[in-house]
Structure formats: C-alpha cells, structure tokens
Structure 1
Amino acid sequence: MKVLAISGSARRNSTNTAMLEAIRQVAAPRFDIRVFHGIAELPVFSPDLEGEATPRIVRDFMGAIDASDGLIVSSPEYVRTIPGGLKNAIDWLVSAEVIVNKPVVLAHASHRGDDMLATLRIVMSTVTSNFNGEIFLRFPLMKETPEAIRQIVGRAENRSRVDTFLKEFSEFCQSVRADSLGQS
C-alpha cells in the first residue's frame, strides 16, 4: 500500500513531521509511506494558476496524492485552527479534485489541539467522500526532539498502536477501492 503522509507544519523540526517519519520507519517495508515536506514551498492558491498555469511544485504534489492509495494528515494547531500552509495545500487539492475520493485519516502529535482537529475533520469530510474520522492515531509528543520521537514511536507498545492504525487504514483503503471498482 502506498501512503502519502502530509504534515501541516512548515517548521523544519516539526513534531508532526517527526512523528510521521517515525511511523514511516515503523511501517517499512510492509507499507510504502512517503512523507511530504513541501507545505511551505507551495504557492498561495489562486484560481488564476489552475490548469496549464499550475506551478510544477503543485503538479508534483497533486501527482504524489494521485499515486497514493490514501493520505495520513498530521498537523499542529495554530491559533486553535488549521495552519495556513495546510489549508492552502487543501485548497490546491480541491481545485484539481485529486482528493475528492481519496481515503484520508488523521494522526496527531500532541495531547492538545482538539479545536484544530475538529476543524480539520470538518474540512476533510467536506473535501473527500472517503474521510474516516474513526481511524486516528495520537501520541503526546509535544516539545520532544525528532530523535526522541523516533524512540517513543519505536517502543513495542507504540509500534503495536502504529501497526493497528495502519492495518485499519489499509483495510479501509481496500474497501474504498473495492467500492469504486464495483461502481465502475
């Protein structure tokens, strides 16, 4: 299964990005997880840049999503909501409709951030018919270093949680795929 993991943080040493990287390491080689690091590089969405005028970096981002079986989104909370960079990325995806039927689940790297998560759940359930809010993974990792996050996520009990999360997500992606093939 090919998964694209998107961090909503533009910060180089982001806790959410480090958690997604740790999940990727725990999951290999059973799952092919690629972590997208380019939120900060995406230009501000504008309808004037759609179609043939879409910048290469945005086309590459859309292509990575299109090539994936599903998305894991993990984001910090900024002023009780979704960071602007992640919202901008979502706007680009809706513009091209690459997210419309894509299976999406959330992961979160903090013990807080529930307001952002509530908003992100609303947004994701609006932009894709295959958002699954029941499949969710959360670790309280705030203020940890990337190395500490790798160690925490790599502990046996946490590896088990990651395995369960990915198994449920894989089954969900397979059911979405089966449903879409049945409707063809």
Structure 2
Amino acid sequence: MNIVAISGRTRQQSTNTVLLMAIKAASPNGIAIAVFDGIGSLTKFRPDLEGPSLPDRVQVFIRLIAHNDGLLISSPEYIRDIPGGLKNAIDWLVCGGQIIGKPIALAHASHRGDHMLVALRKVLSAFSSNFNEALFFRLPVMMETPEAIQEILKVADNRQRVEAFLRDFMSFWQNQLGSQPP
C-alpha cells in the first residue's frame, strides 16, 4: 500500500510533520509513505483556476494523491478548527475528484485539538465513503523536539501501535478494493 501523508501545518519542523516522518520510519513492510508538507505552497483555491489554468504546484499535489492508494492526515487545531492551509488543500482535492473514494485515516500529535478533529471528520466524511473514523492514531508529542519524537516512536509499545494502525489501514484498503465492482 502506498500512502500520502499530509501535514496540516505550514510551519517548518511542525510536530505533525515530524510525527508523520516518524510514522513513515516505523511503517511495516508492504506500506510505503510519502510525506507531503507543502500545503503552504499551494495556490489559494479558486474554481477559475481549474482545468488548463491549474497551477503547477497544485498539479503536482493532485497527481501525488491520485497515484497513491490512501491518505493519512495529521493536523493541529487552529482556533478550534481546521487550519486554512489544510482546508485549502482539501478544496483542491475535492474539485478534482482524486480524493473521492480514497481510503483516509487520521493521526494526531496532541492531547487536545478535538474541535478540529470533529470538523475534519465532518468534512472528510462528506466527500469520501472510504473515510474511516476508527482509523485514528494519536500520540501526544506536542512540544517535543523532532529528535525526541523519533525516539518516542522507537519505544517498542509505540512502534507496535504505529504498525498495528498502519496494518489496520492496509486491511481497510484491501477490503475496499475487494468490494469494488470489476
């Protein structure tokens, strides 16, 4: 299974980006993860730019999503809601249809942020029948250094949790493939 992991934060060395990189490093055989941390570089969504006017960076992002099997999103809460950069990225994906039907799971790097998670789950479930709320990995590592997060995920219990989460995601994806008409 090939997964695109999207960080919902635009800040360099974001805890969410580092968490996704650590999840990537801990992924079991059969699961490859590409971390996309460039939502801040995406042009603001405007329907006028769809089609032949689609900005280059957005085209790259859409192709990345289209050519992978699933999507993993990790995002902080911003004023009790989805950060603008992530919402913008989702808007681009919805308009092109590449995300519709794609298996989606969430990860979260904080002990708080439940308001954003509720909002994100509502948005994702509105356009993807393959968003699975039960596929959720939470590891509260907010305020940890990137090195500390890597070490935290090397702890056997945490690594096993990541591996189980990713295997569950792969099983969900395989079940979805098996249930699609030929």
Same fold flag (TM > 0.5): yes
Kept in 1: contact 2:5–2:20 (CA 8 A): yes
* Partner of residue 33, structure 1: 33
Matched ranges for 1:64-143 at <5 A: 64-143=64-143
Q: Secondary structure at the match of 1:105?
A: strand
How far does residue 55 in structure 1 lie from its aligned partner after superposition?
A: 0.8
Q: Secondary structure at the match of 2:79?
A: coil
Instruction: Give, in whole Å, the separation in 1 of the partners of 2:88 and 2:109.
Output: 21
Identity of aligned residues (%): 52
Deviation at 1:56, TM superposition (A): 1.1
Structure 1 position 31, deviation (Å) = 1.5
- Displacement of 1:28 in angstroms is 5.5
1:175 is matched by which residue type in structure 2? N
Which residue identity lines up with residue 8 of structure 2 in the other structure? G
Q: In the TM superposition, what is the alpha-carbon distance from 1:145 to its structure 2 partner?
A: 0.8
Q: Secondary structure of 2:111's partner? A: coil
Instruction: Letter of the 1:65 partner, please give it.
Output: I
How many pairs does the alignment contain? 182
1:133 is paired with a residue of what secondary structure? strand
Q: Distance in 2 between matches of 1:28 and 1:57?
A: 30
Kept after mapping to 1: 8 A contact 2:45/2:88: yes
* Structure 1 segment 10-25 matched on structure 2, within 5 A: 10-25=10-25
TM-score by length of 2: 0.98
Structure 2 CA distance for aligned equivalents of residues 46 and 120 of structure 1: 21
Q: For residue 169 of structure 2, what is the aligned residue in structure 1?
A: 169
SS at match of 2:132: strand
TM-superposition CA deviations, 1:111-162 (whole Å, max 9, x none): 0000000000001101211100001100010101111111111111000000
Could you tell me the TM-score, scaled by structure 1's length? 0.97
Report how far residue 29 of structure 1 moved.
Answer: 4.6
Q: Please state how far the C-alpha of 1:30 moved relative to its aligned partner.
A: 3.5
> Which amino acid counterpart does residue 37 of structure 2 have in structure 1?
H
Q: Runs of 5+ in structure 2 lacking a partner?
A: none
CA RMSD of aligned residues (A): 0.9
Q: Give ranges in structure 1 of 5+ residues lacking alignment.
A: none
Moved over 3 A (4+): none
